[in-house]
Amino acid sequence: MAYAPFNLTGKVALVTGGNRGIGLGFAEALSQAGASVAIWGSSDKNNADAVKKLGGAVKAWTVNVADETQVAAAMVDVAKHFGRIDSVFANAGIGGGAKSFSEFPTDVYRRVLSVNLDGVFFTLREAAKHMVERAKGGDPGGSLVGIASLAAIEGAARNEAYAATKGAVISMMKSIAVEHARYGVRANSILPGWIATDMTQGAQDNPAFADKVIPRVPMRRWGEPKDFGGVAVYLTSDASSYHSGDSFVVDGGYSIF
Ligand code: NAI
C-alpha cells in the first residue's frame, strides 16, 4: 500500500518558474502525486507548453515575480481559482555573471537581485499572508520553499550578485520558518547542484566542464529536473509537517566530495 501522505490529492501547489527546468520537475511530480498545480512563468508559450505536457489540474499564469503588484494579484487569483494554496516553490530565477567582480555592471547586479531576491521575497510574503489568514480561521499548515543554490555556500567566482541572492534566500527561509511555525507553516530552502537546464546550457556545451567538473560529482552525471520531484512531493505533503528551517542540498554529492 502506498504511504498515504505522499498522495497529494486535495493539495494545491504553486511553482514559480514552473514552465521549464527544475520548476517543471517540481510541477510534474506534484501533479503526478495528485496535487493541483499553479505555474507562474514569464513566457506565455512556455506556460502553454507546460500545461499541455502536464495535463490534469494544472493552470499557468504569466507573472513577472520582480513586480510586486503582479505577484500580489496573481497570488489572490491562484487562491481563488483552486480554493487554497498549500505549498509554494519560489523557484523563478536568472543567472547573470560578469568578467570580474571589479567590472561587475550595476545593471546586471540589479537585474539579478530583482528576480532572485525581490521575486522570492514578494512571492513568499504574499503566500504567507494567505497561509496565516487561513491558520487564523482554524486551518493551519503550509509549506514555503525558496530555491537557493550551491553558489550560496561555495565560492562562485564572477557571480557575486547571483551568489548573494542565493545566500539571502537561505537566511530568509530561516526567518520565515521561526516566525510562521505557530501557524503550522514551515519554510525550507533547496540548493541544487549542477543541473542540466537552459540556465546551464553554456556549461553543458563546454568540453572543459565535462572534463573537469562533472567527474567531481560523486554521482558522475548532471542532475536532471526529475531529480527534484521527490523533495517537492515531500515538502508539500504532511510527511514534512515537523521539518522546517532546513536546507536540502540536491547535488549528487558534489558539495561533500
Ligand atoms: P531555467 O532558466 O531553466 O528556468 C527558469 C524559470 O524561471 C523559467 O520558467 C522562467 O520563465 C522563470 N523566470 C525567470 N525570470 C522570471 C521572472 N522575472 N518572473 C517569472 N518567472 C521567471 O532555470 P533552472 O535551471 O530551472 O533554475 C531554476 C532555479 O534553480 C533558479 O532559481 C536557479 O537559480 C536555481 N538553480 C539552478 C541550478 C542549475 O544548475 N540549473 C543550480 C542551482 C540553482
* Residue 205: CATH number of its domain: 3.40.50.720
- Considering the domain boundaries, does residue 247 fall inside one? yes
Radius of gyration, alpha carbons of the chain: 18
Beta bridge partners of 60: 39
130 found inside a domain: yes
State which of 94, 154, 166, 170 you would mutate to test the pocket of ligand 1, scoring each by most atoms of that ligand within 8 A of its C-beta: 94
pLDDT above 90 (res 1): no
CA distance 89 to 230: 13
Indicate whether residue 100 lines ligand 1 (CB < 6 A): no
Nearest protein Cα to ligand 1, atom 33: 93
- pLDDT tens digit sequence for 47-88: 999 999 999 999 999 999 999 999 999 999 999 999 999 999
The residue range of the domain holding 35 is 8-256
Question: Is residue 2 in some structural domain?
Answer: no
Q: Are 81 and 7 in contact (CB under 8 A)?
A: no
Percent of the chain residues topping a pLDDT of 90: 98
When the pLDDT of each residue in the chain is averaged and rounded to a whole number, the result is: 97
Strand partners, 195: 223
Q: Which residues pair with 191 in a beta bridge?
A: 249
Report the atom number in ligand 1 closest to the C-alpha of 150. 43
CA nearest neighbour of 222 among 256, 250, 247: 250
Domain-embedded: residue 3:
no
Ligand 1: residue whose CA is nearest its atom 32: 93
pLDDT in tens, 198-236: 999 999 999 998 899 999 999 999 999 999 999 999 999
Which residue type occupies 193?
G
Residue 61: closest CA among 43, 88, 79: 43
Give all strands of the β-sheet with 247-250 in edge-to-edge order: 58-62, 36-41, 12-16, 87-90, 142-147, 185-192, 247-250
Q: How many domains does the chain have?
A: 1
Three cell numbers written together for 241 = 509537517
Instruction: Assess whether pLDDT exceeds 90 at residue 189.
Output: yes
